[in-house]
A and B are shown apart, each in its own frame.
Chain A
Amino acid sequence: MAEWTDIAISLGARTFGETDVILDIFTPSRGHTRAMVYGGISQKKRPLIEAGNTIEVQWKAKSEAALGHFSVADATNQRAARFMTDPLALAGLSAVTSIMRDGLPEGEAKQGLFEATETLLDVMGEPDVWPAIFIKWEIGFLQQMGYGLDLETCALSGGNDGLTHVSPKTGRAVRGSEAEQYLDKLLPLPAFLTDSKAPPSPYDIGAGFRLTGHFLVHRLFADLNRDAPEARYLMLERLEKAERLIMPKRPDTGTAPMQQHSGERPTYMGAKPDVPEHKRVSRKVRQPMNRK
């Protein structure tokens, strides 16, 4: 009989049969793990395993290779219940857990990512703070997954000051003076990512999500042969609606948001050139309906 006990972040549960659920969790020492929770839809267990909660779990199975089942002893931090009435926080919480659930391989320990995720989830109630931390978390997530960005030295000159853009191909920063002739191809690098004292503006937040969104969609999730989670799109739309995020302006004109030119979802939200047509249509339908 194999078993272990650990602390974990719940990444969400899906119903299995009538009374059980299959729960995805992320633990510091075992990474992304999945198992059954018997009676998981009960009124007693369901609130504990809501996505975003930190829980104490015990896993048991006949062998290490088996799916096994979790016993959830308690929730040490029930964030989901705290954020139920906060649309922004709930959108952020759903986006974090969806990105982890869809992007993380099973069984790889990532202690640093666990601590960073706990920190991010704990500040979700502070809308002035968390979008910038979310972007930094996504950069860390990409790094943990093997898609690290080099935002410290210029890929062309080797200098480490005046960095303003990032190459979408290499993920390396580029100095403003070197970037001028490639402005239409490079991704803007918001100042708060290189200078911790620079307060992020909504434009910086937009540029940050565009930067991480590019590498999440075109590298990480493209390699996994899937699109970025829908929850991330919903979070960005909600942030934009709350004026916490403003889309980057087109580098060639410097005037209008990118989506007004391209007529479709901007790159930072994850629009992929190779997204199937039916998906594009479905997202367009999701635009505000019958609003006056």
Chain B
Amino acid sequence: MAHRSIGPEITRLIEMMSKLPGMGPRSARRATLHLLKKPEQLLAPMSRAMADAAQKVTACDVCGNFDTLNPCGVCQSKGRDDSVICVLADVGDLWAMERSGVFRGRYHVLGGCLSALDGIGPDDLNIASLVKRASDGGVKEIILALNATVDGQTTSHYVADQLEGIDVAVSRLAHGVPVGGELGSLDDGTIAAAFSSRR
């Protein structure tokens, strides 16, 4: 009879954990073992939290953010400026913006960037809904906060094109020297971008 050291339930849990970002088979085993050692404090609450999230969290119909509410909490929040929309590539970018606390307007998540390599075209992104939001009235400025990469900026220019003819100001995030960055350690491209957008 074959010796069974780890049961199928645990093996399945390890397999699922190993699919998460930052986890490989070894770290998945460690994390699983940690959960199994603390069933009441960690495993059960985590399982309930995951079941809740799977059941209740959806993408917001207005901005694309993930939330249990639809429209999401950010879209429903009364203390925000409705006249400014910040356009982002991903929900992770929205969370980063919220952590920084510098923006108190509304968001719009495109769901990625145009990418020839990954086969992502304009129809795969939430651009039409952004144009509709902008043309519905009440919006004065749209901030394109997309990645400073070829794909990100190609998307940025494309979105700006689509917004042409609508009465909104379109602005972009600045490119240049990061806070704490020393000029000597920066690459030529970043220095050139910082120089061209000096003020």
Residues of A with C-beta under 8 A to B81: none
Shortest distance between the CB of B43 and any CB in chain A (Å): 25
Residues of A with C-beta under 8 A to B127: 289
B117, B175, B193, B196: the one within 8 Å of A14 (CB): B117
Residues of B with C-beta under 8 A to A270: none
Tell yes or no: A62 within 8 A of B by CB: no
Residues of A with C-beta under 8 A to B196: 82, 85
Q: Name the CB-closest residue of B to A80.
A: B150
Residues of B with C-beta under 8 A to A53: 189
Establish whether residues B165 and A80, one from each chain, have CB atoms under 8 Å apart when the complex forms: no
Complex CA gap A146/B122 in Å reads 33
The interface stretch among B28-36, B53-61, B103-111, B154-162 is: B154-162
B116, B121, B122, B175: the one within 8 Å of A84 (CB): B175
Residues of A with C-beta under 8 A to B192: 78, 81-82
Complex CA gap A292/B149 in Å reads 30
Also in contact, A75 and B162, with CB within 8 A (given A12-B150, A85-B197, A285-B123): no
Residues of A with C-beta under 8 A to B162: 288-289, 291
Q: Name the CB-closest residue of A to B157.
A: A87
Tell yes or no: A197 within 8 A of B by CB: no
Also in contact, A82 and B150, with CB within 8 A (given A14-B117, A231-B116, A292-B166): no
Establish whether residues A90 and B154, one from each chain, have CB atoms under 8 Å apart when the complex forms: yes
Shortest distance between the CB of B159 and any CB in chain A (Å): 11
Residues of A with C-beta under 8 A to B114: 234
Establish whether residues B188 and A98, one from each chain, have CB atoms under 8 Å apart when the complex forms: no
Also in contact, A80 and B116, with CB within 8 A (given A18-B21, A90-B153, A286-B122): no
Q: Name the CB-closest residue of B to A78.
A: B189
Establish whether residues B135 and A290, one from each chain, have CB atoms under 8 Å apart when the complex forms: yes
Establish whether residues B22 and A90, one from each chain, have CB atoms under 8 Å apart when the complex forms: no
Q: What 0/1 pattern do residues 108 to 133 of B give for CB contact below 8 A with A?
A: 00000011111001110001100110
Complex CA gap A241/B162 in Å reads 12
Q: Name the CB-closest residue of B to A286.
A: B122
Residues of A with C-beta under 8 A to B118: 14
Tell yes or no: B98 within 8 A of A by CB: no
Shortest distance between the CB of B103 and any CB in chain A (Å): 22
Complex CA gap A229/B154 in Å reads 14
Complex CA gap A94/B121 in Å reads 14
Complex CA gap A85/B160 in Å reads 12
Tell yes or no: A46 within 8 A of B by CB: yes
- Chain B residues with CB under 8 Å of chain A are 21-22, 114-118, 121-123, 127-128, 131-132, 135, 148-150, 153-154, 157-158, 160-162, 164-166, 175, 187-190, 192-193, 196-197
24 A-B interface contacts by CB (under 8 A): A14-B115, A50-B150, A80-B189, A81-B190, A82-B189, A84-B148, A84-B150, A84-B153, A84-B175, A85-B193, A85-B196, A90-B157, A91-B157, A229-B116, A230-B121, A282-B121, A282-B123, A285-B122, A288-B161, A288-B162, A289-B128, A289-B162, A290-B166, A291-B165
7 additional A-B residue pairs with CB within 8 Å, beyond A80-B149, A288-B164: A12-B150, A81-B192, A84-B175, A230-B121, A231-B116, A282-B123, A291-B166
Top 5 nearest A-B pairs by Cβ distance?
A81-B189, A78-B189, A87-B157, A291-B165, A292-B165
